[in-house]
Chains A and B, each alone.
Chain A
Amino acid sequence: MSEIVNMKNICKSYYIGDQEIQVLKNINLKVEEGEFVSVLGPSGSGKTTLMNIIGCLDMPTSGKYILCGNDISEMNEIELARVRNKEIGFVFQSFFLLPRLTAVQNVELPLIYSDIPQKERRKKAEVMLERVGLADKMNNLPNQLSGGQQQRVAIARALVTEPSLILADEPTGALDQKTGTSIIEYFEKLNAEGKTIIIITHDIKVAAHANRTVNILDGKLTEGVVSG
């Protein structure tokens, strides 16, 4: 199995005035292909910053980050955009579907940025929506869908580029218990199909669904209990 994420001594600090605030302290994290990892931590623990770095949305202050064999710290903005497009599928807490686009158009969105012809884009998006069970909602606008359905559209959008890593930030945070559970179960199903998944969450029940949990507290990472 190949390594998807390999972080060595990742630090991230911000400056407020002259004061340095260390958000991440010497993070070491490895995620192998096919793993389902949850990053568990309370708010303010630095887990969002960690997710931004894993997702190549932010650069570490120091340390080395290798994503699917690419050294992120040496990339420029355009190369980072390409890596995000090809290697990572994002799922956000509040879905972030574009309200003016239909479900299928939303799923197509990442493909627009990867030089895939229009017809093929539509086809792939439709296939993906069928997979998440929304074949009959293709042309609905997001506000015509329930929260769970919206999150499934977002998952379809994350999957459509066939990324190496699905990165989910509190994917159940905006959903009720029952829908949240079904979404998490969907992630388990995807993992069973071989997808590598990292979930960032503060909810221990959500984290328990993953094969491996790492805890983050005050910017430090500790390996958690491996759950069944």
Chain B
Amino acid sequence: MNITKNKLRSILTMLGIVIGVASIIALITIVQGATNNISNEVIKLGGNKIFINVFGTPLKQGLTQYDAEQIAALDNISGVSPTISGKTAVIYNNKVLKDIVVEGKNEVYFRADPELLSSGRAINILDLGSKNQVAVIGSNIVRELFFGINPIGEKIIINGMTYTVIGTLKESTGFSLGSTNDTVIIPYTTALRCLGVENISTLDAYLEDTNLADQTVLEIKGILNQAFNYNEDAYNVYNMGDIIDSFQSIMSMMSMLLAGIAAISLVVGGIGIMNMMLVSITERTIEIGLRKALGATPFAIRLQFIIESIILSLIGGITGLVLGALLSYLLAAIIGIGVSISLSTNILAVGFSASVGIVFGYMPARKASRLNPIDALKSL
């Protein structure tokens, strides 16, 4: 067969397909890996969560505890976790950390994600009820204030008042949204009293049944409308599930887009194959003429050249597949995400390269099959 006899030329011709398939595989895999990674992070934050952001009105600057209790009382809500946040200095043993985010939260926040804590205990309902001055601190705070010391039970000063450290938070890594590494968490009832903040500005509501999310969002909006006198600019309600959905659809659109761009190189590769097939037909005119004289039908000639073209692009496709897989794992290792190459991606790549072979091999093959054997044999 001609392919093996013109190794260098065949390799150069296949290169277009190799690069095309490799980049499609790598792009799809990386984007998918990144999407899964981010989705997982987002889901960890809570696919069953509804975020309520309150900007307030001049008359009422945030939610009151009563509003929060009303939302918590809705049928499909398993709990709400209000957040009150402020920035203030945190002091331990004469070490001062300025501008630390101090957030007031409740026990629901900790219950929703059991993996939040690294050591110690979470804020519980008793802390909230008696407005205890206790704190759960982020990993960077631990590192900076308590280097070499077990922070549990130590006293820190927040905004001039003494708090006991009862727990530490796990370090959040990677793409984590809303990293808590630099945060100090105290009971929100304590926060309301001590941070000089009177209103709840954000509230997370946890759903019991995510299928009923839309209905619940409407009910929450009803409560908020009452609270803010039907001023819809006063708040925002986000359903986390919707956010995840739209995020995933954006990412899949992006991966299609990238794959589309990579597919252009497949087309270029296909044209390369077509070019090589045409050159090869010109070089092999005598062979074609001879085969026809020996009784090859036009169909047999066409088949021969299409098969050659398919083999070329399949070899290119499979090489590209291997290369793309290696590239994906390499990039994934560098970026620090997990990837897996799906079967459908493999089929896509191999199928695509085979069809490039058929599409771009057809025209040269037809040209070969139409060659007049007399002219072909005369061309010596």
Contact = CB atoms under 8 A, between A and B. Distances in A.
A106 to B, nearest CB: 10
Contacts of B286: 96
A77 B297 contact: yes
A110 B374 contact: no
Interface stretch (A52-60, A126-134, A179-187, A209-217): A52-60
Contact of B294 (A58, A77, A85, A94): A85
The listed residue with most B CB atoms (<10 A of its CB), out of A57, A85, A86, is A57
A58 B374 contact: yes
A135 B84 CA distance: 97
Contacts of A78: 297-299
Given A57-B374, A96-B377, A100-B5, A113 B295 contact: yes
A90 interface: yes
A140 interface: no
B300 A113 contact: yes
B374 A81 contact: no
Contact of B287 (A92, A98, A157): A98
Contacts of A96: 286, 290, 377
A90 B298 contact: no
Size range of the chain A interface in the assembly: 20 to 34
The listed residue with most A CB atoms (<10 A of its CB), out of B287, B290, B296, B380, is B290
A81 B297 contact: yes
Given A96-B286, A100-B2, A100-B5, A113 B296 contact: yes
Given A94-B380, A100-B5, A57 B373 contact: yes
B296 A81 contact: yes
B105 interface: no
Contacts of A52: 374
A77 B370 CA distance: 10
Interface string B278-292: 000000001100111
A85 B296 CA distance: 8
A85 B294 CA distance: 5
A84 B373 CA distance: 12
B293 interface: yes
Contacts of B297: 77-78, 81-82, 113
Interface of A: 52, 55, 57-58, 77-78, 81-82, 84-86, 90, 92, 94, 96, 98, 100, 109-110, 112-114, 157, 161
Interface of B: 1-2, 5, 286-287, 290-300, 373-374, 377, 380
Given A58-B374, A109-B290, 14 more contacts: A57-B292, A57-B373, A77-B298, A81-B298, A84-B295, A94-B380, A96-B286, A96-B290, A98-B287, A109-B294, A113-B291, A113-B295, A113-B296, A113-B300
Complex A-B, nearest 9 residue pairs according to Cβ-Cβ distance, in ascending order: A85-B295, A110-B294, A113-B295, A81-B297, A96-B290, A84-B295, A113-B296, A57-B373, A78-B297
